Amino acid sequence: MVEHAQNCYPNECCGILIGSEADGKRHATLAVACRNAYEGEQKDRFEIDPRDQIAAERKSRELSLGVLGFFHSHPDEGAYFSQTDLKNHWPFYSNVVMSVRARVVSDAKCFRVDVDQTASEEEELIWPKS
């Protein structure tokens, strides 16, 4: 996930988190890097390539896991959930946002969107900082 964010810099990266859930905790075992299919300036927008999304869903079934959520990066911006993010993310899923500055991921936070897509709540994120 971090590598993908750094490689895509200064554009936004995107991908899908696959894993399992137990006792209210989600554990991502695999981060699937996806192509950013947004047809415009990709430094502050992304759109997951639908082919990659289908492939990730298939992969999760093969591994008997589930899609936990999505990740994307904010090049030269903080790890926050923007109004655009709110509009473009489904409820239920966990969404990791990484801040990338000078090609280095410096921060990451995770958000979950409410059912009306009007507000997001931060979730605790434990990730291996290097």
- Give the interface with Zn ion as residue ranges (CB under 5 A): 82, 85
Q: Which is nearer to Zn ion, 13 or 32 (CB)?
A: 13
* Shortest reach from residue 82's CB to Zn ion, in Å: 5
Give the CB-nearest residue to Zn ion.
85
Q: How far apart are CA 37 and CA 126, in angstroms?
A: 28
Neighbours of 76 (CB within 10 A): 12
Quote the least distance from Cβ 64 to Zn ion, whole Å.
30
Give the nearest distance from C-beta 77 to Zn ion in angstroms.
8
- Report the distance separating Cα 80 and Cα 90, nearest Å: 16
Minimum CB separation of residue 115 from Zn ion in Å reads: 20
Tell me which residue has tokens 């990709």. 42
CB contact at 8 A, 113 and 83: no
- The alpha helices in the chain, defined as continuous H runs, are 2-8, 50-62, 83-88
